């Protein structure tokens, strides 16, 4: 594991070692220490190995080496899983004067290529092994490695050394955030990643899998109905859907995968929810990237009023109540100071417990790097307090209130008894939608006179 012995590089590796210890403390994963040979001085040093999961990514093995004799340090990342079915390419636009973008973490595999198109600069796979670093760290390491042999180049060919000096000034300006540039990682193994995809475009390199089979477009009968819906959903969602329905026919139609963009299929059927209304269940899955998605669409006419449903959870039994949350419903838990705007999580058929678990998992996925070992202490402590409180609510260690506010009245929480009015913990109220709500839903400019006339005729 040879690497330039610069102060910047050593500090970066020390941070990786500290991060490994922090992850061990948080997750309880064992930190293995192995005595190994130092390639610089020939004495024995210590390599620390940690199997962990990088938030928003996948499982990796972190390796940090340190020699107490010559102070040689190095780190490396290897992947605990397998090669992905698809390669990946990440493109990040880094504006000038925004140093926080340079702090985004980068996971680079052994076979990934790093490019900065504006400088016509490329780091081939063999130049840097698998690493866990930042944008700044990757570029600074490249600068350090290019400077290593500059004195020898000056003796051999001063013109080449001078040209490299000019290039290093530009590359160093990018590393310090003084110049805008584009950072690209191209990885055929699919095992590289850049933190926070908000400004990062991921392109799946479409490697079609051989031997995949599809149901023909059109419809499938009752025999294949459950298989078709279960294929596009998790077991929990499928079980919740089948509780209310036994579809005689499931319609299938072509669509596009929302993750990788290849052709996929969407399956749809209509069912009636007791105490509620007729709804349309849609489930899609992609045989190429494995993406799955399910949605619940309301059937029938648009209600004239919105509805707010309030449930007071007092016991563990209340967690098993069925919940239908449409994509126009907001979710609020006052005791947790949590409020999800309409559209968050999409349409769901689940339970109270499933909804809370889904919220917890979604927050961890979205803010993975903000709560990982590289997060600022106050952010991490704030998240831990929030998550601890959420886990208490999942165990019903205290009473709390779940509120679904749906401007289209397409959400539902099942009562504990057959008589909706007899359930004292569950209440609902209808309200007139505001002009702004109708505007967001596109109802103010909706004209159905032609359709109404055709229907009357």
- Give me the chain's average pLDDT, please: 76
Superfamily holding 84-205: ZPR1, A/B domain (2.60.120.1040)
pLDDT mean over 429-438: 89
Average pLDDT over residues 410-415: 86
pLDDT in tens, 217-229: 444 444 444 454 4
Contact (CB, 8 A) for 438 and 304 = no
**Quick one: average pLDDT of 295-317?**
85
Q: In the chain, where are the structural domains located?
A: 1-81, 84-205, 218-298, 306-441
SS3 for 3-72 is CCCCHHHHHHHHHHHHHHHHHHHHHCCCEEEEEEECCCCCCEEEEEEEEEECCCCCEEEEEEEECCCCCC
Residue 3 pLDDT level (bands cut at 50, 70, 90): very low
Least confident of 155-164, 368-377, 436-445: 368-377
Lowest mean pLDDT among 103-107, 321-325, 378-382: 378-382
CA dihedral 213, 218, 224, 230 (to 10 degrees): 70
Report, as an integer, the average pLDDT of 275-293.
75
How far does the chain reach from its first CA to its final CA, in angstroms?
Answer: 81
User: Is the pLDDT assigned to residue 324 strictly greater than 80?
Assistant: yes
Domains 218-298 and 306-441 share a fold: no
Q: What percent of the chain has pLDDT over 70?
A: 72
pLDDT of residue 372: 57
The full DSSP string for 318-356 is GGGSEEEE-TTEEEEEGGGTEEE-TTTT-SEEEEHHHHH
133 Cβ contact partners less than 8 Å away, ≥ 6 residues apart: 12, 105, 106, 108, 141
Answer yes or no: CATH 2.40.50.100 is held by domain 1-81. Answer: no
Task: Provide the β-strand partners of residue 402.
Answer: 311
DSSP output for 271-297? EE-TTS-EEEEEEEE-TTT--EEEEEE
Stronger pLDDT, 91 or 369, i.e. the higher one: 91
Model confidence band, residue 335 (pLDDT cutoffs 50, 70, 90):
very high
pLDDT at 274: 63
pLDDT at 182 over 50: yes
How sure is the predictor about 149, in pLDDT bands with cuts at 50, 70 and 90? confident
- Checking if the pLDDT of 150 tops 70, the result is yes
- For 218-298, which CATH class? mainly beta
Percent pLDDT > 90 in the chain is 12
Model pTM?
A: 0.45
* 242 has pLDDT over 70: no
CATH superfamily of 306-441: ZPR1, A/B domain (2.60.120.1040)
Query: Sign of the CA dihedral 374, 379, 382, 387?
Result: negative
What confidence score (pLDDT) does residue 218 get?
Answer: 44
Q: What is the pLDDT of residue 400?
A: 93
Q: What is the pLDDT of residue 430?
A: 92
Q: How confident is the model at residue 402 (pLDDT cuts 50, 70, 90)?
A: very high
Count the neighbouring beta carbons within 10 Å of the beta carbon of residue 278.
11
Half-sphere exposure of 35 (CA within 13 A, CB side): 3
Say if residue 7's pLDDT is above 50.
Answer: no
């Amino acid at each position: 594991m040879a690497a330039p012995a610069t102060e910047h590089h050593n500090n970066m590796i020390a941070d990786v070692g500290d991060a490994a210890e922090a992850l061990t403390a948080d997750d309880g994963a064992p930190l293995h220490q192995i005595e190994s040979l130092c390639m610089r001085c020939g004495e024995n040093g210590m390599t620390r190995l940690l199997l962990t999961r990088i938030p928003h990514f996948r499982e990796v093995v972190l390796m940090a080496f340190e020699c107490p004799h010559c102070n040689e340090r190095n780190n490396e990342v290897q992947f605990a899983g397998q090669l992905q079915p698809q390669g990946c390419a990440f493109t990040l636009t880094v504006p000038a004067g925004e140093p926080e973008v340079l702090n985004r973490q980068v996971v680079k595999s052994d076979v990934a290529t790093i490019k900065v198109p504006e400088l016509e600069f490329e780091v081939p796979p063999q130049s840097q092994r698998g690493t866990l670093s930042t944008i700044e760290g990757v570029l600074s390491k490249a600068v350090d490695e290019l400077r290593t042999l500059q004195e020898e180049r000056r003796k051999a060919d001063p013109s080449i050394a001078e040209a490299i000096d000019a290039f290093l000034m530009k590359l160093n300006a990018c590393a310090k955030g003084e110049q805008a540039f584009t950072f690209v990682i191209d990885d055929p193994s699919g095992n590289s990643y850049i933190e926070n995809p908000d400004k990062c475009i991921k392109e799946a390199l479409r490697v079609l899998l051989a031997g995949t089979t599809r149901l023909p477009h059109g419809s499938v009968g009752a025999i294949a109905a459950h298989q078709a819906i279960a294929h596009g959903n998790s077991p929990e969602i499928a079980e919740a859907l089948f509780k209310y329905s036994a579809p005689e026919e499931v319609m299938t139609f072509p669509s596009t995968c929302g993750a990788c963009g290849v052709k996929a299929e969407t399956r749809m059927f209509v069912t009636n929810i007791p105490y509620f209304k007729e709804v349309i269940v849609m489930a899609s899955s992609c045989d190429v990237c494995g993406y799955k998605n399910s949605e619940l669409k309301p059937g029938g006419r648009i209600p004239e009023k919105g509805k707010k449903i309030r449930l007071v959870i007092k016991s563990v039994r209340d967690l098993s109540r069925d919940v239908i949350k449409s994509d126009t419903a907001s979710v609020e838990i006052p005791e947790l100071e949590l409020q999800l705007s309409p559209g968050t999580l999409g349409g769901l058929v689940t339970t109270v417990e499933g909804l809370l678990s889904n919220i917890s998992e979604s927050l961890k996925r979205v803010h993975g790097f903000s709560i990982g070992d590289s997060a600022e202490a106050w952010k991490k402590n704030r998240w831990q307090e929030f998550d601890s409180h959420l886990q208490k609510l999942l165990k019903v260690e205290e009473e709390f209130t779940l509120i679904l506010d749906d401007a289209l009245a397409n959400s539902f929480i099942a009562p504990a008894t057959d008589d909706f009015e007899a359930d004292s913990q569950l209440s609902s109220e209808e309200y007139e939608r505001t002009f702004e709500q109708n505007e967001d839903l596109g109802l103010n400019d909706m004209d159905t006179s032609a359709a109404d006339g055709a229907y009357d005729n």
